[in-house]
Structure 1
Amino acid sequence: MAEGSVFKHCSCKSADGRRLGSRCPKLRRPSGAWHPTHGRWAYQLELPTTTDGRRRTLRRYTFDTRDIAAKERDDALNLLGLAAGNKDLAIEIGDLLHQLKPTEPLPDRNMIARRVKAGIPATTAVLLGDYLTEWLTGRSIEASTKRSYDGHIRNHLEPHLGHIPIEKLRVGHIKAMFNAIADRNIAIEAARGSDDPDIRASVRRQRTTGAATMHRIRGTLRKALNDAIRTHRLIEFNPAAHVELPSGKRPKARVWTTAAVKYWQATGKRPSPVMVWTPQQAGQFLDYAEDHDIVLYPLYALMLYRGLRRGEAIGLRDLDLDLDVGAAVISQQITTVGYRPVTKKVKTDAGDRTITLDQVTVAITRSHLARRATWQLVSGPAWPRTGLIFVQPDGTAWHPDTVTKRFDDLIEKAGLPPIRLHDLRHCAATFLKASGADLQDIKEMLGHSTITITSDTYTSVIQELETERAKAEASAALVPRTQRRAG
């Protein structure tokens, strides 16, 4: 490979108006040495010939010193050296250099080297959107996790960042995406509160993106970029790891107190995304469910009394239950991917647990099993052998979305303040704490991976219950007051 040359160049013109360039006589002294102040330094080197054999040259001008010009020439030669005898790759790198604009810096050698190692064309920018799509396609992960990643990529990362070459992605780009998401949240909330029905209708079924979801979006991008560093060697820096977001802490559970119920009745709004019933409200629900949906009543009771997740209750098997001992093993769940039910193991070691059943739950479950035996007797040999505790009267498994829909319908018809089906779990934890259990007991019942999750979610709601009232009264009583007439 030719080493190229370093020389001086100027913008002087001849008498007929033509630029002299490197032919200007003022560039050299009479001795032949370069003039120290006239002109600027430049370099030139031969690039690999094109596929059809045409010669081409790389010329770069306007360097302040010879050393700077020589260094860039050497950098260009080092880039060409990455071809290591591969003629096609040499032509490709030559194309990349030949297409540079006069003021455009040379491509980063390490970046080109990473592309060469990854088998990616040196002349093609790897756009983040293309990389994320390829990255997700090649991952062997749970269907639900893949669906979550896909949603983050399709709804947020691709629209905001997909057009940016992966090696040019910076922290500022990612911050701008989250700022845009926050602005969209504000616009949706403003439209929802508008007096104009057309404006309200324009955001119907549009959802805001909460702080926790933003953290998960960043987590997806951070994981993908970490793989771009470790596995694909496309980049050396992960900008997603250096983006700060507002706290995505779980919302505190709040009790449907009398004041909270009045606020909801007046505004239609819940004081918190996570609401729990008082014991009296929970009892009203169970009474109503027993009278109006006896088929699902035992499942809801189990969730309310012992804090099971929806998928854990639906997936509970005959072999997991021992009513004589009063215990149930929680080891599998039935969840959904899209709308399709999927049976799988519980997600964590902490979730794989044995829970103790109280006498009320045991009695309700025994009655359910007796009722189920009647359904089976009526169906005869056609009865499906699912092995599940909670099934429909025809023996088939419950679809998780159906269980949720019927729960919501019962609440509305019973006239109770609304909670989510998952909030039955929060009710169970709240009532257990009010009865004297500590956070470790609640953690084990719920199958939380750390006690931090338990504490973050339930600290405030615990303080709203009667167990804290006596402490508050005792504290206030210590403050001496003179007798004053009311009013």
Structure 2
Amino acid sequence: MIEHNRRTRRSEPITKRTAKNGAVSYTFQADVGVKPDGSRDRRRFTYPTIAKARKEYRRITTEVSAGTYVAGHTATLGEFLARWLDGRRDVRPVTLAGYRHALKPVVDRLGGLGLQQLTKAHVDDLVEWRMASGRNVTPDLSESAQTLLTFISERGDAGVTYAEVEAEFGGAATRRLDRLRSGGYVERPSRGRYVAAKALAEPEQSGVSARTVTTMLVQLSAALDAAMAEGLVARNVARLVERPKVTPTEMKAWTAAQAATFRAHVAGRRDYALWLLTLAGMRRSEVLGLTWKRVDLEAGTLTIASSRVVVAGGTDTGDPKSWRSRRTLRLPDDVLAALHTFKATQAAERLAIGAAWSSDTDLVAVREDGTPIRPEAYSAEFTRLVNAAGLPVSRLHDARHTAASVLLAAGFSPVAAAKWLGHDPALTLRVYGHSDDKEQEAIGAQLFGGGSP
């Protein structure tokens, strides 16, 4: 009894174990948190030396007390990113597709690495690779043309038809098919059938833009923040990586006169109403997702309540881009007249085609046979019309910049313009407001006394 009282208490609960083969190890147990069912999470740790066991016992218990302890696990970065992306139910499909695309280089290059083994050096090396040679470019062929040629090559001697290409890639792809044929990449062995004539040239490597790299780092940082919240990693190493400097680019906008030229050029077209909606500042997704039930021709309004965007394998119709995007616009008489005409035209086409009319979606933006207009085909047609009208090169989205600039130049407040465009007022003023050369000249004259107040 006296001997028991004199026994010294262990400062650390580490037990020495000797296996049957004579191997010695040192083990201890520690509470590291709480399980999902509310019970304590008690784990056993084993080390080959007493010094290592003491060091780890002190580290683990200190981190548990501080709330920074991270249990070891074998999940790879690729596995975690796949799970994180699959759980993103708070974003639109098109946005999620963008996240997957941004993180693809991370998965391809670092996906096999253990999540807890990821370091700043790994991410720095990835950034350097992306900036220097992270993209393969085939000379003389756009990325979309390369994708189409790969699709044709995979069909082998069976080849493809125009209908199959259009069904897979949209109407604009048939023009790419013609260009591939004229370039010798595709040949027609029989009427209506096209096969690959030669393989893609050896791709050249080039770097991607600073904006592309930054987008990748933003998404990786968001994913690792989630990993930290789950207790899977101790820190977010992506936030330690310096992001490349992104040079802002001035968005292009037409003058009011140039917008009028485009309007005159498309007047009389079957789809004239759609281009007026584009000139009015509606997004492509909003124009193509608009349904007739949301157009009140009697009241002179339309309500933007849905959008149609490109996703993997086709298109997706869903909610507008944001809560601000959901809005009702009171339309001017000429736009209403164009919509009246377009609806009557579609009614006549439906009557003429009969059962072959394929649209059952009530979409406004459909072709003569009722099939929905694909987003990429709409953009391609805009580019063709801009070139035909002799106007400066402009993207479809730049029409929104033009609309915002016209509204602000006309004296409408940023709040009013933002409400029309479905944007935050600060963003409208910062991104979509543009000033032309004459305005800049007038400002300079005013500052130096050459203009009238």
Offset, 1:365? 2.0
CA separation of 1:435 and 1:109: change in aligned 2, threshold 3 A: same
* Aligned counterpart, 1:224: 223
* Aligned counterpart, 1:258: none
Offset, 1:303? 0.7
CA separation of 1:394 and 1:111: change in aligned 2, threshold 3 A: farther
- Does residue 277 (structure 1) correspond to residue 251 (structure 2)? The answer is no
2:397 to 422, 426, 432: 422
CA separation of 1:147 and 1:98: change in aligned 2, threshold 3 A: farther
Structure 2 SS opposite 1:336: strand
- Aligned partners of 1:144 and 1:337 also within 8 Å: yes
- Does residue 150 (structure 1) correspond to residue 117 (structure 2)? The answer is no
Structure 2: gaps spanning 5 or more residues: 1-7, 34-42, 142-200
- Aligned partners of 2:271 and 2:342 also within 8 Å: no
Distance 1:442 1:48 in 2: 78
Tell me which amino acid in the other structure corresponds to 1:283. A
**Where do 1:107-146 residues align within 5 Å?**
109=60, 125-140=74-89, 142-146=92-96
2:115 to 162, 166, 170: 166
Structure 1: gaps spanning 5 or more residues: 7-43, 59-72, 83-88, 193-200, 254-274, 480-487
Tell me which amino acid in the other structure corresponds to 1:316. L
- Does residue 77 (structure 1) correspond to residue 47 (structure 2)? The answer is no
CA separation of 1:381 and 1:130: change in aligned 2, threshold 3 A: closer
Q: Aligned Cα RMSD in Å?
A: 4.3
1:390 to 365, 371, 375: 365
* Aligned counterpart, 2:16: 46
Tell me which amino acid in the other structure corresponds to 1:440. V
Structure 2 SS opposite 1:477: coil
Offset, 1:170? 3.7
1:327 to 288, 301, 311: 301
Distance 2:446 2:70 in 1: 73
Distance 2:61 2:383 in 1: 57
Distance 1:224 1:100 in 2: 37
Offset, 1:435? 2.0
Distance 1:148 1:420 in 2: 19
Offset, 1:248? 5.1
Structure 2 SS opposite 1:276: coil
- Does residue 375 (structure 1) correspond to residue 349 (structure 2)? The answer is yes
* Aligned counterpart, 1:265: none
* Aligned counterpart, 2:320: 346
Q: Which has the higher contact order (CA 8 A, sep 6+)?
A: 2
- Does residue 57 (structure 1) correspond to residue 11 (structure 2)? The answer is no
Structure 2 SS opposite 1:177: helix
Cα distance per residue 1:78-132 (max 9 Å; x no partner): 57999xxxxxx75xx54xx349999xx859637998xxxx998x5x644323322
CA separation of 1:160 and 1:408: change in aligned 2, threshold 3 A: same
- Compute the TM-score of the two structures, normalised by the length of structure 1: 0.63
- Aligned partners of 1:334 and 1:342 also within 8 Å: yes
Tell me which amino acid in the other structure corresponds to 1:56. A
Tell me which amino acid in the other structure corresponds to 1:215. T
- Aligned partners of 2:329 and 2:420 also within 8 Å: yes
Offset, 1:410? 2.1
- Aligned partners of 1:386 and 1:395 also within 8 Å: no
- Aligned partners of 1:332 and 1:344 also within 8 Å: yes
* Aligned counterpart, 1:437: 412
- Compute the TM-score of the two structures, normalised by the length of structure 2: 0.68
